[in-house]
């Protein structure tokens, strides 16, 4: 009899009752309202986040995918904490980074519960390069000149990768989730572009100097805004011209693509424009099946030509005194101005500092995340510009390759190049193997999107932001999953 009563009163049996479930909802709601009232009465508004956080943890444990999609949706909408509380000494992106930190904790717990991670994913070349990348960040954090800064850098990079790459590879195993990933990111991004464009129009749509305040507070500057546009434009274009979407869905995709192209144009980001052109060039190489050896020989020929005629080219560039301008033609011409354009000159200054820092610490570097605190001593007066600063508030090395070179030594830069080569090769291979038209389209457009970012990475680095990380690491996860699919349905040449 006692066993029978215990069975009836067990949690699993009780929760099957509709009335018990309704009662729990009311009880939890009442507790939340009481807690909320208490925190407000004590003027401790920050503690309001505690019950919300507990609720998110409960949902994450039961419906983990839901939290993933919520986080991804809010990435384009996220705001820096300093915009809300300027007096704070630290910063983070809200609400995404707190969600990512919680998801990282759940990710670690599930590794123990599930006794490891999907071995097929771990063995994939892209995953192995990323694991090597995380290991090298951790190792160089130990040898860092500023260990606290580097450890913080490691964890911020780790939760981006853990969620948007490793967790994403599991969620994206369902083919329908591949399309869902793209559009959960694209729809809010397009909405933000509309908001930014309207704001820009109020400031002066054809005013190049208004591009920075227009994107604030959603993007920290117009170059990041342009980089995200170029990352996502190839995929949006692919869904417009080659997908299984219905006619009304394609109209929606066309609206999104138009918004992204408008955002790119009025970002006034010369690096973004160049990177999209580079991505389109690579697309035609793939489309016309130009052999890799031919591409390599072409690259070597360009390098030799630069070595032979580089001095003449530099002399020509030095005669260009066209600064950034509201006129689009003049703005394009200013790309090669290394005489008076402050933005171009400051990049050269930062790159020179990065190379000098690497020369001092070639193997382990100064430590992840330390460039902005250490480069001031490596500036030369002759290379400083009107926007140069000795304070640690002027940004980073403006390069996804020279930044790691100075912070993590030669292996840090080589690992980034390895990731570039392996991901492009894998994406193109998956494109040629896949039979399904939408998956083929996704393979090539995601790869081209990444290539635009790799080009952009020569001039800027944004992987410390949630907006770029969600796109880049998420696209790498898509390529891994598509590569796995392609091995099961390899298409004949």
Q: Looking at per-residue confidence, does 487 or 178 come out higher?
A: 178
pLDDT for 306 equals 55
Peptide bond into 95 cis (omega under 30): yes
| pLDDT tens track for 463-491 | 988 999 999 999 999 999 999 998 876 54
For the residues 164-191, what does the mean pLDDT come to?
Answer: 93
| pLDDT tens track for 31-61 | 666 766 666 666 665 555 566 666 666 666 6
For the residues 316-328, what does the mean pLDDT come to?
Answer: 50
Query: How would residue 10 be classed by pLDDT, with cut points 50, 70 and 90?
Result: very low
Query: How would residue 80 be classed by pLDDT, with cut points 50, 70 and 90?
Result: confident
Q: How many CB atoms lie within 10 A of CB 380?
A: 10
| Least confident piece of the model among 252-256, 291-295, 404-408 | 291-295
pLDDT for 236 equals 96
Mean pLDDT of the chain: 81
Percentage of the chain beyond pLDDT 90 is: 46
pLDDT for 18 equals 57
Please, are residues 182 and 235 in contact by the beta-carbon 8 Å criterion?
A: yes
Percentage of the chain beyond pLDDT 70 is: 73
Please, are residues 429 and 289 in contact by the beta-carbon 8 Å criterion?
A: no
For the residues 341-361, what does the mean pLDDT come to?
Answer: 86
Residues 372, 81: Cα–Cα separation, whole Å: 20
Nearest residue to 426 via CA among 491, 493, 475: 475
Query: How would residue 14 be classed by pLDDT, with cut points 50, 70 and 90?
Result: very low
Q: Looking at per-residue confidence, does 30 or 73 come out higher?
A: 73
Say how many CA atoms lie within 13 Å of 69 toward its Cβ: 16
Provide the token pair at 3.
């066993």
Please, are residues 479 and 427 in contact by the beta-carbon 8 Å criterion?
A: yes
- Residues, the chain: 493
């Amino acid at each position: 009899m006692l066993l029978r009563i215990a069975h009836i009163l067990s949690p699993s049996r009780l929760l099957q009752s509709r009335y018990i479930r309704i009662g729990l909802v009311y009880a939890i709601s009442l507790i939340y309202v009481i807690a909320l009232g208490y925190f407000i009465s004590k003027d401790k508004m920050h503690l309001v986040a505690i019950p919300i956080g507990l609720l998110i943890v409960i949902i994450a444990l039961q419906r983990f995918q839901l939290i993933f999609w919520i986080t991804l949706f809010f990435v384009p909408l996220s705001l820096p904490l300093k915009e809300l509380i300027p007096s704070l000494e630290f910063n983070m992106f809200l609400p995404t980074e707190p969600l990512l930190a919680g998801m990282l904790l759940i990710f670690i717990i599930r590794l123990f519960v599930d006794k490891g991670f999907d071995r097929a994913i771990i063995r994939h070349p892209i995953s192995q390069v990323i694991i090597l990348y995380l290991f090298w960040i951790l190792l160089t954090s130990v040898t860092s000149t500023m260990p606290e800064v580097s450890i913080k850098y490691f964890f911020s990079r780790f939760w981006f990768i853990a969620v948007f790459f490793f967790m994403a590879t599991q969620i994206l195993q369902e083919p329908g989730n591949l399309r869902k990933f793209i559009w959960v990111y694209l729809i809010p991004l397009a909405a933000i572009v509309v908001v930014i464009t309207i704001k820009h129009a109020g400031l002066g749509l054809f005013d190049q100097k208004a591009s920075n305040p227009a994107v604030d507070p959603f993007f920290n500057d117009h170059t990041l805004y342009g980089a995200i546009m170029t990352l996502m434009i190839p995929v949006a274009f692919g869904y417009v011209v080659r997908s299984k979407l219905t006619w009304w869905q394609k109209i929606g995709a066309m609206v999104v693509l138009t918004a992204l192209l408008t955002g790119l144009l009025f970002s006034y980001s010369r690096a973004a424009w160049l990177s999209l052109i580079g991505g389109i060039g690579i697309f035609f190489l793939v489309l016309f099946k130009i052999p890799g050896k031919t591409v390599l020989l072409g690259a070597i020929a360009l390098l030799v030509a630069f070595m032979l005629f580089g001095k003449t080219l530099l002399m020509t560039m030095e005669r260009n005194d066209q600064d950034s301008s509201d006129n689009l033609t003049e703005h394009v011409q200013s790309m090669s101005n290394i005489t008076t354009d402050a933005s171009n000159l400051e990049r050269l200054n930062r790159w020179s500092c990065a190379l000098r820092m690497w020369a001092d610490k070639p193997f382990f570097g100064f430590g992840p995340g330390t460039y902005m605190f250490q480069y001031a001593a490596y500036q030369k007066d002759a290379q400083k510009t009107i926007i140069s600063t000795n304070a640690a508030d002027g940004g980073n090395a403006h390069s996804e390759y020279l930044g790691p070179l100075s912070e993590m030594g030669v292996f840090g830069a080589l690992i980034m190049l390895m990731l570039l080569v392996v991901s492009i090769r894998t994406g193109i291979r998956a494109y040629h193997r896949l039979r399904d038209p939408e998956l083929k389209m996704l393979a090539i457009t995601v790869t081209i999107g990444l290539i635009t970012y790799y080009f952009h990475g020569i001039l800027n680095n944004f992987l410390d932001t949630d907006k770029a990380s969600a796109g880049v690491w998420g696209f790498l996860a898509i390529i891994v999953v598509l590569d796995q699919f392609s091995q099961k349905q390899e298409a004949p040449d």
